[in-house]
Amino acid sequence: MKINSFKNEILQMDLRDIVNIISKNIFMILIFTLLGLITGYFNMNKDTGEQRFATIITISEANSETREILGDLSASLHRISHLEYERVFIQFLLQTNPNLPINSNYPELLRLKKDYEINLTEINEIILDYTINPDLYNEAILAYNEKVIKDFPDDIDQAEYIIDDIPTYASLKEEIGRRSATSVKLVFTQKYSDYLVENFIKIYLNNIKNHLSDTVFKIIDKTFTSFAKDRSLVEDFIVFALNQYPKELKYFVENFPVFNSKDHFGKTIEESGIYENKIDLFQDSSSIDETFNKKYSIVHITQENSGIAWFGVLGFLIGVILSFASTLYYKKNRNVK
């Protein structure tokens, strides 16, 4: 039977004909509906261990206090890099004897302040970039799984909590109450548990904090390394330049060690708490274990039961279509005879 002919036959039917066909083939329709429901059920549960859920983590910018601390820290690094305390001593030495063979601007170091600047804008950019770095997730999963093995000696319990696959992740920069923030959505392909979310997020946030701290430490170390090299060169040059001025040379050698920019301005860096991770490089980063539950929300993405219903509807429609097709086919063959 051609499709157009089948269509025309149905359009010519009235409501009574339709009801009669359905009632006569109700058993077949119910069978196909049941098959649809069963297919939908097994399709939804084809992997009973795989239940998806997502967590959205919000990493907000640190407060104004951190902004001020980072500003002071950057200023101290800039002064150290410019040998500010050593410069003061050399200028004083020149005032005692203007005829010394030393340039009044010495040492003139061509270093830009931005090379040693640490601010929240850069911190936020580092966070955003790091949240799309696969290393962050590999390291977090490794640390989390090690904790699972430690907390649950039994293999069955471990299998329930171990993370086998890297969660799907996406990061977004946004503004929350005039404060910059990075939102990260993580989609896990496994069963939800409070243990997984709590421990993974703690490890995840701590890894970000450690990465930020390492970045700051590298800037500090870079400054201290260049300072030591520049200071040594300055000292060697002054000793050479004062070779014909024994009085001034003796005074310089005895007092130069006291004028040390790193020792002087480094106190500000130590007092900032950066070495003890006491500075919030993002909101509450120094107290993650106590505040992590304020930073995330959970969205369950498990397939809904409505999926089974749609398979049931599909089965019902197939049953109805076959009922009409078989009835019309039988009717046509009877008329031909």
Q: Is the pLDDT at 302 greater than 60, yes or no?
A: no
Residue appearing with tokens 């109805």: 320
pLDDT in the model for residue 9: 61
Q: Is the pLDDT at 285 greater than 60, yes or no?
A: yes
Burial of residue 61, with CB atoms counted within 10 A of its CB: 0-12 exposed, 13-18 middle, 19 or more buried: buried
pLDDT in the model for residue 65: 92
Cα 36 from Cα 309, distance rounded (Å): 8
Cα 294 from Cα 208, distance rounded (Å): 17
Percent of the chain with pLDDT over 90: 50
Span 80-108, average pLDDT: 86
More confident residue, 335 or 269: 269
Cα 295 from Cα 288, distance rounded (Å): 9
More confident residue, 231 or 298: 231
125-177 pLDDT, tens digit per residue, is 999 999 999 999 999 999 999 999 999 999 888 998 999 999 999 999 998 88
pLDDT in the model for residue 137: 96
Query: Nearest CA to 218 among 131, 126, 83?
Result: 126
Contact (CB, 8 A) for 25 and 319: yes
At 12, the pLDDT band (50, 70, 90 cuts) reads: low
> 35-56: b or e for each residue (b if 16 or more CB lie within 10 Å)?
bbbeebeeebeeeeeebbbbbb
Burial of residue 223, with CB atoms counted within 10 A of its CB: 0-12 exposed, 13-18 middle, 19 or more buried: buried
More confident residue, 2 or 103: 103
pLDDT in the model for residue 43: 63
Cα 245 from Cα 247, distance rounded (Å): 6
Give the CA diameter of the chain: 134
Cα 4 from Cα 173, distance rounded (Å): 56
pLDDT in the model for residue 336: 47
182-224 pLDDT, tens digit per residue, is 999 999 988 888 999 999 999 999 999 999 999 999 999 999 9
Residue appearing with tokens 């601010």: 119
Cα 201 from Cα 55, distance rounded (Å): 9
Edge-to-edge, what's the strand order for the sheet holding 168-176? 168-176, 179-189, 52-60, 296-300
Q: Three-state DSSP class for 16?
A: helix
pLDDT in the model for residue 28: 74
List 87's β-bridge partners, or say none: none
Percent of the chain with pLDDT over 70: 78
Strand (E) positions, the chain? Answer: 52-60, 168-176, 179-189, 296-300
Global pTM? Answer: 0.73
Which helix (H) or strand (E) segment is 47 a member of?
none
More confident residue, 189 or 322: 189
**Range ranked top by mean pLDDT from 21-35, 253-267, 321-335:** 253-267
At 301, the pLDDT band (50, 70, 90 cuts) reads: low
pLDDT in the model for residue 51: 62
Cα 45 from Cα 66, distance rounded (Å): 50
Q: What's the N-to-C CA distance of the chain in angstroms? A: 16
